[in-house]
Amino acid sequence: MAYTKKQIEKLKLADEGYQGATSDMVTFLESKRNIFYKIGSKYHLDADELYQESYEVLLTCLRDYNPVFTREDGEQIEVKFNTFFGSRIEMKAMELRNGNPEYKARKAYVDGMDDDAKAEFKQNAPLLVQHIDHAETVNEYLSDEITKARQELNPDLEARFNRDSFLDDVLTDLIKKEKDDKKKAVLQHVKVGGIMNFQDIAYHFGVTDSRASQLMNELMDAFYTQRIINGDVETVVKDLQRLKLSNARVKTLLQNAVEYSSKEIKEEIVKVAEEIFPKIKDLDIEKNDKSNMKNAIIDEIKLLPYEDVLSDEENVFYPQIEVGMKDVNEFKFTNLPFRTKLKQNVFNAFLKAMPDDNADFPVVINKEGFIIDGELRVQAAKAKGIKSLLTVVRNVSTEDAKVLRVIINNRLEQGNKKQLYYAVCALLHLGYSQQKIAKLLNTSRTNVIVYAKVKDKAVDSIKQLFEEDMILITNASACADLEPELQIQMVNFIRKYGSQWSKGNKFTKLLNAAKNDAVRALEETENPNFMQSDKLDELIEAEKGYAERLTKQAQERIDYLEEKLQTTTTKLQDSETWLAQREAVINTQQKELVEVKEENTQLQREIETSQLLQFADKSAFEDEMKYLKQIYEITEKLTGADNAVSTAISKVDSTQIKTRQLKDIELICLNLEEKIEKLRVAVVSKK
């Protein structure tokens, strides 16, 4: 059966999907969001990116849609618009997938393989490909859906802290080691929760970079370890078995998980490992001292040979004037508050690495002896009993020496947010403007504003959180907008429930609670055991105090609003009085203006008449007088008619008139309107 053009148009009109897309494209696409997520997941694409492409796809569908499809055998079938659109979207997804660098790399890898080799590849893919294929496994952890209830029921605060600090520790270590700025930025983004799956990480790193592949492996191990720490032991260990990782690697993952887990999780790890990986033995469940591990890392500090710390421009402005040995007691410290004091274990590690002969590590000073670079080396030398140090003297004023001290330390630790914070604090202490500081430190003024706000407005405990890497500077800046008491409540909450509350969605939730003075209410919601305490009387008293504070705040708010209402009412009354007076003045001035205009018109007429009498002959004077008489007569009659109509209006308003008489009056009004219209036409025709 061949469809006519009219029948096809009828089918289009009957298709709800086509009509909906034609009338409102945006609403139509929003209603198909689930399609974009489903197809995006199938082809490893970002659903939002596919949604953006869908506008162009929808336009081509509206242009090309034919509700009748003819198969190869000639049979014709009807096709709904939604089906047609879904097919086109999937074609677009395939096109985007085929252009994806990960897909190209995978395809290039399997090209030329026979069927058996491809089957083997699918079963035992390279680890980087496994990361991409098993994004759902990672998302289970990142979405925090599986283990959240179990986490929050764990009353052991130390175990909670260990659990929440593991991934942060790993990411912080990776960020410190990474030299490539792009990869460092991606790792930082992962740390704050901005990247939520391995497909995105692979996209940012690129699969052809060996360092990227190594980072992917380390991150994947960290995510699996974190899931074990969170309590999802059996599922993760089975995943590791399915991925066919080596026993040595699995043992490393499990041992890391043991060190950060609670006692119950440790026992479960050992039990599950014995069942699934019987060859893995000797897991040390007693090992849990991460501070020793950090100290071991600190002990490996190695000092690099000295390099000139000044830029070429600074070398020109501040030339070197002397090099030689100087007594350590001749050095002067600038005493700038640009960093916290080093912990003793870190200083001990530096002492161990510091050689007695500092030929490779000279101290830089100015002529007055103020240290520009090398304060820590001087302190170490005094502690080790070294009498003199190799010194480079530069021609720098004391004020410039202090600024250089800050700039050089910030330059040597570029990318370190804490060092930038210390540098901003020091330069503010020296009296520099924010714009000048941004230029000196080679950063944006926006950054300086954020750091300055933390310095000036944040309470000490917020600053301490930042210095301990437990909160980002931007989030610390957001806290600084609150009252000091609310800031302290946020700090106590973060320290009690873990650093995950200092970033991402959880921080936003905590910040909003603090803004509404509802941190306590949030704590009751997030901690089911909050009210299950032996000190119930204390909790009840605290609850009573909390309620009293809320009542007091509410009453203060009511008093403030009532006072504001009273003030506003008074201002409104004053405004109304002033407006009435102003209107009265305007009306009086308008009346005076009309009287002046009439008087001016009368004077003009008198002047014209006087001129006419002075220069005209008798006949012209008589004609002009007749004309004026006619004009006065017309004006008088119209004025009289106007007064008569005004009088009639007032009479009609004040008189009860019957229906019949109303009709008579209405006829008279119609006659008046006709005559007035004729009069208007006559006047206009005279112009």
Instruction: Enter the DSSP assignment of 366.
Output: E
Which amino acid makes up residue 217?
N
**For 297-339, how does the pLDDT look when each residue is reduced to its tens digit (9 = 90+)?**
344 444 555 566 778 788 888 888 888 888 888 888 887 765 6
Task: State the Cα–Cα distance between residues 401 and 365, nearest whole angstrom.
Answer: 8
Task: State the Cα–Cα distance between residues 493 and 481, nearest whole angstrom.
Answer: 17
**For 399-408, how does the pLDDT look when each residue is reduced to its tens digit (9 = 90+)?**
888 888 888 8
Q: What is the pLDDT of residue 169?
A: 75
Average of per-residue pLDDT values in the chain: 76
Joined together, the tokens standing for residue 525 give: 């919601």
Give ∠ CA 517-529-156 in degrees, rounded to 5.
105
Which amino acid makes up residue 487?
Q
| 77 burial level (CB within 10 Å; 0-12, 13-18, 19+) | exposed
Instruction: Enter the DSSP assignment of 521.
Output: H
Instruction: Enter the DSSP assignment of 123.
Output: H
pLDDT band for position 550 (cuts 50, 70, 90):
low
- The full length of the chain comes to 687
Q: Give the mean pLDDT of 534-541.
A: 52
CB neighbour list of residue 348: distance below 8 Å, 6 or more residues apart: none
**For 586-645, how does the pLDDT look when each residue is reduced to its tens digit (9 = 90+)?**
888 888 888 888 888 777 777 766 665 555 556 766 777 787 788 888 888 888 888 888
- Percent of the chain's residues with pLDDT above 90: 1
CB neighbour list of residue 387: distance below 8 Å, 6 or more residues apart: 327, 328
CB neighbour list of residue 441: distance below 8 Å, 6 or more residues apart: 407, 410, 420, 423, 424, 427, 448
CB neighbour list of residue 657: distance below 8 Å, 6 or more residues apart: 665
Could you tell me the sign of the dihedral formed by the alpha carbons of 468, 473, 479, 485, in that order? positive
- Is residue 401 within 8 Å of 370, Cβ to Cβ? yes
Starting at the edge strand that comes first in sequence, how are the strands of the sheet with 371-373 ordered?
320-327, 388-394, 363-366, 371-373
Task: State the Cα–Cα distance between residues 350 and 354, nearest whole angstrom.
Answer: 6
Adjacent-strand bridge partners of 371: 365
Which amino acid makes up residue 12?
K
End-to-end alpha carbon distance in the chain: 77
**For 567-592, how does the pLDDT look when each residue is reduced to its tens digit (9 = 90+)?**
888 878 877 787 777 787 888 888 88
Could you tell me the sign of the dihedral formed by the alpha carbons of 453, 457, 462, 463, in that order? positive
Q: What is the pLDDT of residue 43?
A: 81
Q: What is the pLDDT of residue 202?
A: 58
Q: Give the mean pLDDT of 447-455.
A: 87
CB neighbour list of residue 213: distance below 8 Å, 6 or more residues apart: 127, 128, 207
Q: What is the pLDDT of residue 267?
A: 83
Residue 269 neighbours by CB distance under 10 Å: 24
C-alpha pair distances (Å), 573 with each of 569, 570, 584, 585: 6, 5, 17, 18
Q: Give the mean pLDDT of 216-225.
A: 77
**For 6-63, how does the pLDDT look when each residue is reduced to its tens digit (9 = 90+)?**
888 888 888 988 998 888 887 888 888 888 888 888 887 777 778 878 878 888 888 8
Determine phi and psi for 291, rounding to 5 degrees. -65, -35
Task: State the Cα–Cα distance between residues 138 and 542, nearest whole angstrom.
Answer: 41
